[in-house]
A and B are shown apart, each in its own frame.
Chain A
């Protein structure tokens, strides 16, 4: 509930040279793409650390390349060079005093540019896939406190026995405020709860299936041949039992 906006960006970073392969504002897109790019990790960074002009169009501009650097903050330990998930960057003292992270120019090979292009291509397609999922899920967002509401009301529905007229307090509360009987309240809430739950599971399964498919695609031609975006729409609208 009221999760608040944080201005974060998710960087796809190469574990080998700490090079920035691409970026996205979606954690799920970032986590999906690293499953298909060898030796890559997601780094969550506050957007304020970067000059926007450096980041913008990075996915289309392959002339400039950067590595992610982090300020050396160690005082007593000697663990500053340890790279692990959530900490994939080069440690340096050469960084502005008001920043924890920054991007520094990186010299790269042609093969690395190829890796960058593949990452950017897949990120662009995963964004389309995620937007499609969002579009079908938007109809279930009806209240600012949905995330707490859904889990709580699920338990209240479970402890209600409509056949014996034993209603959980939240079911009665909903009925009182909305001017309906507890029985109507139960059916109203149960219908909405099931509808949202089943649809979210379904959308997640579709996301899982097609993000894996995108991660196996090497280029635009292959992507178009597989007609992935049309298939996603068909799957959402009509389904296709495999």
Chain B
């Protein structure tokens, strides 16, 4: 079946459909990771977006339940060069095609994703329409243009939990997955998978769910946190009433500027509890601390972004997924920029010099991507320990 990807500026690409059928609109963005398509599809931060992968061969190792970052995929569409029809990996449970079909996500393959990527790089992020229906290209482009896009959009509402819940009370979901290794006596195994054992929990925190990825929750638990996950619009007073050791602000989709009410609640928490934010959580913290955010021309999405820790000089290769960034100029006194992106020198991390509060723009939990920055979870534990 044919499929069409139409951009709001009139450019369009013909390809072949896979996954599901129909029509879908969203902001088109590209991700440069060579592995990890399943984690990307299921990352709630991609809500409202049609994602294209710059690596042309996708679906090679299939789909495995363990690799999902939430309960279902969130992208509005998936755009690739060549779909693998016969995945090969000992963990593969399903092909990408059938997975997207099951979750009603439209895919398009057979298009020149490098041309598309260069177009986005030159023209910036833009709205797009993906369809398997017989819509003339010109009309499709117009419909893309009149769709909602991302700016000013609150997608958090769509992905946050409706009710407060305790993450992984049975300690089954958080163990760190690893490979079988006869030399490693510690690892636990079930269902043919192997895991590093979990430590006993030391702290109890509240995590604001703006679209939280499972691996953040796993990493928090691995670092010794019991996590109560709450709705994005939980009042600060309610959180304080839960008497946690700290507050975590999760990643999530959409424009941080559109979440003014949340900025205010978080602002109330600063100084009262240790706070750690990732990605959208970092941007919200930026606002809460009195700063501003702006939209990047085409975002940082990939697993090879160099981030420098300005305090140590160390460079980490990081996993990133953000279309907005905190404006360094907007930050008031008392807020220190701790990390920058070496590619464009935008803010990648900040901390308050007055309060136990810090955040990073990128994804220390990886999934997908390198593990270089995973130490932040234990940093948060240390911070809480100091405050106790």
Pairing of A with B: no
